[in-house]
Protein backbone atom coordinates (compact mmCIF):
# COMPACT_ATOMS: atom_id res chain seq x y z
CA UNK A 1 0.00 0.00 0.00
CA UNK A 2 1.31 3.42 -0.93
CA UNK A 3 1.08 5.39 2.36
CA UNK A 4 2.08 8.70 0.72
CA UNK A 5 -0.76 8.41 -1.80
CA UNK A 6 -3.17 7.33 0.95
CA UNK A 7 -2.32 10.46 3.01
CA UNK A 8 -2.87 12.63 -0.06
CA UNK A 9 -6.28 11.09 -0.78
CA UNK A 10 -7.52 11.39 2.82
CA UNK A 11 -6.15 14.95 3.06
CA UNK A 12 -7.84 15.85 -0.23
CA UNK A 13 -11.25 14.57 0.94
CA UNK A 14 -10.89 16.36 4.31
CA UNK A 15 -9.89 19.55 2.47
CA UNK A 16 -12.96 19.32 0.21
CA UNK A 17 -15.10 19.40 3.37
CA UNK A 18 -12.91 22.28 4.68
CA UNK A 19 -11.87 20.20 7.68
CA UNK A 20 -8.17 20.91 7.06
CA UNK A 21 -6.58 23.88 5.29
CA UNK A 22 -6.03 23.73 1.57
CA UNK A 23 -4.90 26.05 -1.16
CA UNK A 24 -7.37 24.57 -3.70
CA UNK A 25 -10.63 25.06 -1.75
CA UNK A 26 -12.23 28.49 -1.87
CA UNK A 27 -13.77 28.98 1.57
CA UNK A 28 -15.88 31.84 0.19
CA UNK A 29 -17.71 29.33 -1.98
CA UNK A 30 -17.72 26.27 0.24
CA UNK A 31 -18.94 25.53 3.74
CA UNK A 32 -16.90 23.73 6.33
CA UNK A 33 -18.40 20.57 7.71
CA UNK A 34 -17.21 21.88 11.10
CA UNK A 35 -19.56 24.87 11.01
CA UNK A 36 -21.98 25.11 13.95
CA UNK A 37 -24.98 24.45 11.69
CA UNK A 38 -23.72 20.87 11.09
CA UNK A 39 -22.87 20.19 14.76
CA UNK A 40 -24.74 17.19 16.14
CA UNK A 41 -25.96 16.91 19.72
CA UNK A 42 -24.33 13.51 20.17
CA UNK A 43 -20.71 13.29 21.24
CA UNK A 44 -18.19 10.81 19.98
CA UNK A 45 -17.21 8.73 23.00
CA UNK A 46 -14.06 6.64 22.97
CA UNK A 47 -11.65 5.11 25.45
CA UNK A 48 -7.88 5.66 25.50
CA UNK A 49 -5.66 4.44 28.35
CA UNK A 50 -8.70 3.58 30.48
CA UNK A 51 -9.95 7.14 30.19
CA UNK A 52 -13.10 8.31 28.40
CA UNK A 53 -12.81 11.07 25.83
CA UNK A 54 -15.65 12.99 24.22
CA UNK A 55 -15.35 14.67 20.86
CA UNK A 56 -17.74 16.80 18.92
CA UNK A 57 -19.49 15.37 15.89
CA UNK A 58 -20.74 17.05 12.76
CA UNK A 59 -22.91 15.58 10.06
CA UNK A 60 -24.29 16.48 6.68
CA UNK A 61 -26.19 14.81 3.92
CA UNK A 62 -26.06 15.69 0.28
CA UNK A 63 -28.51 14.78 -2.43
CA UNK A 64 -28.96 15.30 -6.14
CA UNK A 65 -31.48 13.33 -8.17
CA UNK A 66 -31.43 9.76 -6.79
CA UNK A 67 -27.93 10.10 -5.31
CA UNK A 68 -27.61 10.66 -1.56
CA UNK A 69 -24.50 10.70 0.61
CA UNK A 70 -24.37 11.01 4.39
CA UNK A 71 -21.21 12.13 6.15
CA UNK A 72 -20.26 12.11 9.84
CA UNK A 73 -17.10 13.74 11.15
CA UNK A 74 -15.81 13.01 14.62
CA UNK A 75 -13.16 14.94 16.53
CA UNK A 76 -10.78 12.36 18.01
CA UNK A 77 -8.17 14.87 19.18
CA UNK A 78 -6.26 14.02 22.35
CA UNK A 79 -3.49 16.65 21.92
CA UNK A 80 -4.64 19.97 20.42
CA UNK A 81 -1.33 20.33 18.57
CA UNK A 82 -2.19 17.20 16.59
CA UNK A 83 -5.87 17.32 15.54
CA UNK A 84 -7.32 13.89 14.76
CA UNK A 85 -10.50 13.31 12.79
CA UNK A 86 -12.49 10.32 11.76
CA UNK A 87 -15.00 10.50 8.93
CA UNK A 88 -17.72 8.06 7.92
CA UNK A 89 -19.17 8.39 4.43
CA UNK A 90 -22.28 6.42 3.44
CA UNK A 91 -23.46 6.70 -0.17
CA UNK A 92 -27.03 5.42 -0.56
CA UNK A 93 -27.11 1.72 -1.53
CA UNK A 94 -23.32 1.41 -1.39
CA UNK A 95 -20.66 0.30 1.10
CA UNK A 96 -19.70 2.53 4.02
CA UNK A 97 -16.27 4.19 4.01
CA UNK A 98 -14.19 5.26 6.99
CA UNK A 99 -11.34 7.78 6.86
CA UNK A 100 -8.85 8.75 9.54
CA UNK A 101 -6.05 11.28 9.74
CA UNK A 102 -3.94 13.04 12.35
CA UNK A 103 -3.35 16.45 10.85
CA UNK A 104 -0.21 18.38 11.56
CA UNK A 105 1.89 19.90 8.81
CA UNK A 106 4.98 18.07 10.04
CA UNK A 107 3.04 14.78 10.14
CA UNK A 108 2.12 15.06 6.48
CA UNK A 109 5.76 14.29 5.75
CA UNK A 110 5.86 11.19 7.96
CA UNK A 111 3.85 8.08 8.71
CA UNK A 112 2.75 9.53 12.06
CA UNK A 113 -0.44 10.84 10.47
CA UNK A 114 -1.99 7.34 10.69
CA UNK A 115 -3.97 7.75 7.44
CA UNK A 116 -6.62 5.20 6.64
CA UNK A 117 -9.40 4.56 4.19
CA UNK A 118 -11.38 1.44 4.96
CA UNK A 119 -14.57 0.01 3.54
CA UNK A 120 -17.38 -1.84 5.23
CA UNK A 121 -19.78 -3.83 3.06
CA UNK A 122 -22.05 -4.47 6.08
CA UNK A 123 -22.93 -0.98 7.39
CA UNK A 124 -19.89 -0.67 9.63
CA UNK A 125 -19.93 -4.05 11.33
CA UNK A 126 -16.63 -5.17 9.76
CA UNK A 127 -13.88 -3.20 8.06
CA UNK A 128 -11.25 -3.86 5.39
CA UNK A 129 -8.45 -1.45 4.50
CA UNK A 130 -8.90 -0.20 0.94
CA UNK A 131 -6.29 -1.13 -1.61
CA UNK A 132 -5.12 1.52 -4.09
CA UNK A 133 -7.84 0.63 -6.62
CA UNK A 134 -10.63 1.06 -4.04
CA UNK A 135 -9.04 4.29 -2.82
CA UNK A 136 -9.08 5.64 -6.39
CA UNK A 137 -12.72 4.61 -6.88
CA UNK A 138 -13.69 6.28 -3.61
CA UNK A 139 -11.81 9.46 -4.52
CA UNK A 140 -13.49 9.55 -7.95
CA UNK A 141 -16.93 9.27 -6.30
CA UNK A 142 -16.11 12.09 -3.86
CA UNK A 143 -14.86 14.27 -6.73
CA UNK A 144 -18.07 13.57 -8.65
CA UNK A 145 -20.15 14.62 -5.61
CA UNK A 146 -18.15 17.86 -5.41
CA UNK A 147 -18.42 18.52 -9.16
CA UNK A 148 -22.20 18.03 -9.02
CA UNK A 149 -22.33 20.82 -6.42
CA UNK A 150 -24.49 18.68 -4.14
CA UNK A 151 -26.06 20.91 -1.50
CA UNK A 152 -25.49 20.08 2.16
CA UNK A 153 -27.96 19.99 4.99
CA UNK A 154 -27.58 18.74 8.55
CA UNK A 155 -27.61 14.98 8.78
CA UNK A 156 -30.70 13.15 9.98
CA UNK A 157 -31.26 9.46 10.66
CA UNK A 158 -27.61 8.71 11.35
CA UNK A 159 -27.69 6.18 14.22
CA UNK A 160 -26.20 3.47 12.00
CA UNK A 161 -23.43 5.87 10.91
CA UNK A 162 -22.64 6.65 14.55
CA UNK A 163 -22.30 2.91 15.27
CA UNK A 164 -20.14 2.58 12.15
CA UNK A 165 -17.91 5.40 13.44
CA UNK A 166 -17.34 3.62 16.76
CA UNK A 167 -16.63 0.34 14.96
CA UNK A 168 -14.25 2.07 12.54
CA UNK A 169 -12.33 3.73 15.39
CA UNK A 170 -11.84 0.30 17.00
CA UNK A 171 -10.60 -1.05 13.67
CA UNK A 172 -8.19 1.87 13.26
CA UNK A 173 -6.88 1.28 16.78
CA UNK A 174 -6.31 -2.42 15.98
CA UNK A 175 -4.18 -1.44 12.98
CA UNK A 176 -2.22 1.45 14.50
CA UNK A 177 -2.27 0.46 18.18
CA UNK A 178 -2.41 2.93 21.05
Segment-wise mean pLDDT, segments of 10 residues, the chain, 178 residues? 86 90 71 93 83 91 86 91 92 93 67 88 92 92 82 92 94 84
Beta bridge partners of 43: 56
pLDDT for 27 equals 63
pLDDT for 105 equals 66
CA 57 vs CA 36, 61, 73, 162: distances in Å: 10, 14, 6, 9
pLDDT for 82 equals 84
Q: 172 and 85 in contact (C-beta within 8 Å)?
A: no
The rounded distance, in Å, linking the Cα atoms of 104 and 165 is 22
Amino acid sequence: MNKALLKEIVSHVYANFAVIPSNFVNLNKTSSLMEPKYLLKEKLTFEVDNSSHYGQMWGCQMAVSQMEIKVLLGNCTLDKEFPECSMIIQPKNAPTYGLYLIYNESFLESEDSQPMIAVSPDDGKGWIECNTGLQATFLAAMEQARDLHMTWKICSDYDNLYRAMISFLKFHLEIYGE
